Copies of this chain bind each other. A is one copy, B any other.
Amino acid sequence: MLFDVQGTATDFFTTVTSDAVRIDLGRNPGLNWDDFVNRWRVAYFAAVAATPTPAGTWTSVHSIYRRTLDALLDEAGVEYPDTDREELTLAWQRLIPWPDTVQGLRRLGVRYTLATLSNADVSAVVNLSKRGGLQWDAIFTAEMVGAFKPDPATYSTAARYLGLPHSEIMMVASHKYDIRAAAALGFQTAFVARPLEFGPAAEADTEYDDAFDLNASDFLDLADQLDA
């Protein structure tokens, strides 16, 4: 089983908004951090999609988060020193698991081989997994492939590393573009609804779809459905 990490296994909204409030220390009382963090995530998505990945070069996701943060802070007129900007960017390496994630992975791991397939940097996935107690059998990320999801190379490289045909691997994500890309390559798919992905005020796409092999409300529900 391959898992998306940012949003699917971890709650970036709560992590990054609370880190932002902690780092801001009331210096910018008028700023809506909930909205800011969601705009940051959108800017990150757009930047990743626009980042060329020619062979032999790589742009770290950390640098993309930092660059998009700088632009958003400038836009909001927030003046932070470099140390605060760096500390806030590192929040993406501290993402906390959803309440069901650790136990869900533990149950699924008894029966299945579990690996990440994330666009985040290897170091970010290693750090947040260690900190949050996420027990993966392997960590695969875009950085190892030289291409970002939903590039087909990301999914097929993970399958090659696992030594398994696509049809024996299930891609798990709360983002439909991710599992649709995997499905197009013959992977099995599980959609996990994360209604709070963008916080309580914003709306996430949580609609189940029969096009996926499984639809689950969280990792425990996924484990139930897989008899794990």
Q: Which residues of A contact B (CB under 8 A)?
A: 62, 113, 115, 121-123, 126-127, 129-130, 135, 137-139, 143-144, 161-164
Q: Which of B113, B121, B126, B137 contacts A113 (CB 8 A)?
A: B126
Nearest to A116 among chain B residues (CB) is B138
Most chain B CB within a 10 A radius of its CB, from A121, A122, A162, A164: A122
Tell whether, in the assembled complex, residue B123 and residue A129 are in contact, meaning their CB atoms are under 8 Å apart.
Answer: no
User: Are B144's CB and A137's CB within 8 A?
Assistant: no
Once A137-B130, A138-B139, A139-B139 are accepted as A-B contacts, the answer to whether A162 and B113 lie under 8 Å apart by CB is no
Copies of the chain in the assembly: 2
With A137-B130, A138-B139, A139-B139 as contacts: A163 and B123 at CB distance below 8 Å: yes
* A122 CA to B161 CA, complexed, in Å: 5
CB distance from A76 to the nearest CB of B (A): 28
CA distance A161 to B140 in the complex (A): 11
A129–B139 contact, CB under 8 A? no
In contact, B144 and A130 (Cβ under 8 angstroms): no
The CB with the most chain B CB atoms within 10 A, among A115, A129, A138, A161, is that of A138
Task: Note all chain B residues with C-beta closer than 8 A to A115.
Answer: 126
Q: Please report the C-alpha to C-alpha distance between residue A127 and residue B126 in the assembled complex, in whole angstroms.
A: 19
A141 to B, closest residue via Cβ = B161
CB–CB A130/B143 < 8 A: no
Closest to A124 in B: B163
Residues of the B chain whose Cβ atoms lie less than 8 Å from the Cβ of A129: 137
11 additional contacts (CB under 8 A) given A121-B163, A122-B163, A130-B137? A113-B126, A113-B127, A115-B126, A122-B162, A123-B161, A123-B162, A126-B161, A129-B137, A139-B139, A143-B161, A144-B144
User: In the complex, A127 Cα to B144 Cα: how many Å?
Assistant: 20
Residues of B within 8 A of A127 (CB): 113
Kindly list chain B residues whose C-beta atoms are within 8 Å of the C-beta of A62. 163
Is A126 in contact with B130, judged by CB distance below 8 angstroms? no
